[in-house]
Structure 1
Amino acid sequence: MRGAVIACGRRIPPLPGVTDDHVAHVGHRPGKDEVDPVLARAAESAGDAAGDPGEGATGADVVVAGTDGDLAAVVLRLLRTDRLATLSVGYVPVERNSAVAAVWRLPTDPARAFDVATRAEIDRVPLIRDDSGGVLMGGGVLTKVRGVGYCDDTTALRGLARRIHAEPDNSGGPGLVLQVVGGLLGRRRKTYTGRAFQLGCDPTVPVVDGVAHPREVTRLSWYRHTEDLRLARGVVG
């Protein structure tokens, strides 16, 4: 493999053919001090100054092994260090119910996921941000929400919803897919697509990529970033 591996937490399975000099062991949802040095080394190895390697590139520059929340933490550092255009990402989920794997049709078997991360073609996929400085990689959930919300210019919520779920659009659409679930039994479901979702509501706690927000919010925005994420998920070479 040519890239760096960021192994988050202690639940990382054995990865075939990986030597210690390629692995950075970090904690769950790692921050700047743990991630940025790895990204800098990966950028140097990839030839940061060379710019975008273009379509048809294979194998990620940085492979993240961990949870969806761990992946989000690493991608946030890519965003903050302005390396989205120069470093591609691969993902080895440690949880079978990974929302990221489901959205982007990635394998959850560690060996197969690692093969895709290190050998597959690089695709551009929507990167979803929020108004609190984070990113949404696989799914964002709000439960028992009362308020008013808009998906682009369309009213998606006015009143009470049992559940709102947002995820990146994997169909080549505007960027974001939103499902609003209503009714006493949750049988009334409406799906919206757009570049952004904005919500004003009674206090609620968003859960994004399996991580609950540290406090209640009364306003929330999810929106597509101007740059896409470069993700290893295509044909394995």
Structure 2
Amino acid sequence: MRIAYLACGSAAHLPARADLDALAAPTATVTIHQLDARPHRKELRFLDELAHEVLPHDPTPSLDEIAQRPDVSHLGEPGPPPQSPEEELRVVVAGDDAALSAVLTRMMRGDYLWAPVGYVPTDPTSAAATNWSLPSARPGQLALALRGRPQPVPVIRNDQGVVVAGVATVTHSDGGAFEGEIIVDDTTLVQQQIRPANVRFFSQFGARLVPTIGAPGIAALRIMTPPAGSGSGSSRRGLRARLSDRVVDSIGPQQAQSFYETPALRWLVSAAEAPTGGVDPRTTTYGRALQAGGNRMLVTVDGVEAKRPVDRVTFYRHLRDLQIARPA
């Protein structure tokens, strides 16, 4: 077995060689690669070479051949890979979800998602670690990543070929109310063709999606408060602002929006910071694809914003599944 340990960024924990050798399988050969926090394509080229060394020729159907099949079995419950490499290759990523997304994107584009992946998250709030129920303690994470049994899960990507490791969002580029439509399979999740006036605390601000660990692949929710980092709140935190914060905390963002739209009551909440990133669990929608069309949409994958706004985007399940070391 070959294990490629990818330490992504200065925050990545780099275990002692003795610890790696002790936790890895007895026959495993571990190589350590120090990479950028968000590894780029050239940095990850060695992974392409490793995959080709252990599987010089892939005899299984290609992606094009799978796509041409009349059935949709590849979109059912995720399963183990059909490939049988001469030697097992395992990729262990130590970093945040953005680093994991970069590595999975490279593996997907190189078509070697058959290689098991272990994850050692450096961010305690990692959405991917939560989705996969990874241990919270570092020793348990490392042991699972190096020796844990791979479990198949769907791979969710967008139409730009970027894999979602933990979470993705579709919002308006200015952080305000969403203007457009978001559909999951045949279900409308967000629909707001005209942006409402005087929106600050509560509205339809877009959608948040996470990959599921089984079919169909995507779970999406409507975002009801401004996206995190949108800067919708007041920068002054004087007495009036603190009092407004208390009012919003007590009545909630939906009622605060009603106050904000009422001239006689606006002063009660106008100085408050708007709660951000809130979703409505009642809108949870499952499907194999999410399509969005609208005005100046901002697409964010694992905390990384797209370079420019778009007017349409699609997230969908890839034809191959990911093999992730996680608890059964």
Fold equivalence (TM over 0.5): yes
Scaled to the shorter chain, the TM-score interval is 0.7 to 0.9
Decide which structure has greater strand share: 1
State the match for 1:207 in structure 2: 300
State the match for 2:188 in structure 1: 155
Q: Which residue of 20, 33, 40 corresponds with 1:31?
A: 40
Pick the structure with greater CA Rg: 2
State the match for 2:71 in structure 1: none
Q: Which residue of 209, 212, 231 corresponds with 1:166?
A: 209
Asked if 1:9 corresponds to 2:9, the answer is yes
State the match for 2:107 in structure 1: 78
Shift of residue 164, structure 1, vs aligned partner: 1.2
State the match for 2:67 in structure 1: none
TM-score, normalization by structure 1 = 0.86
State the match for 1:18 in structure 2: 20
Aligned identity (percent) is: 34
In the TM superposition, what whole-angstrom CA distance separates every residue of 1:45-65 from its partner, at most 9, and x where no partner exists? x5565885789xxx9701011
SS at match of 2:210: strand
List runs of 5+ in structure 2 lacking aligned partners.
22-28, 60-80, 172-176, 193-202, 226-252, 255-277
Q: Which residue of 277, 301, 314 corresponds with 1:221?
A: 314
Question: Quick one: which amino acid aligns to residue 38 of structure 1?
Answer: L
Contact kept, 8 Å, 1:167 with 1:177, in 2: the verdict is: yes
SS at match of 1:14: coil
C-alpha distance in 2 between matches for 1:122 and 1:152 = 29
Question: Quick one: which amino acid aligns to residue 70 of structure 1?
Answer: A
State the match for 1:110 in structure 2: 138
C-alpha distance in 1 between matches for 2:158 and 2:191 = 21
C-alpha distance in 1 between matches for 2:50 and 2:11 = 24
Aligned length: 229
C-alpha distance in 2 between matches for 1:25 and 1:187 = 37
SS at match of 2:145: helix
Question: Quick one: which amino acid aligns to residue 94 of structure 2?
Answer: A
TM-score, normalization by structure 2 = 0.63
State the match for 1:40 in structure 2: 49
Shift of residue 200, structure 1, vs aligned partner: 0.4
In the TM superposition, what whole-angstrom CA distance separates every residue of 1:143-191 from its partner, at most 9, and x where no partner exists? 4322112111122221161241100012x23110011134863675401
Contact kept, 8 Å, 2:7 with 2:13, in 1: the verdict is: no
State the match for 1:67 in structure 2: 96
Go from structure 1 to structure 2 and tell me whether the alpha carbon gap of 1:127 and 1:89 turns closer, same or farther (over 3 Å shift): same
SS at match of 2:141: helix
Contact kept, 8 Å, 1:42 with 1:61, in 2: the verdict is: no
Shift of residue 69, structure 1, vs aligned partner: 0.5
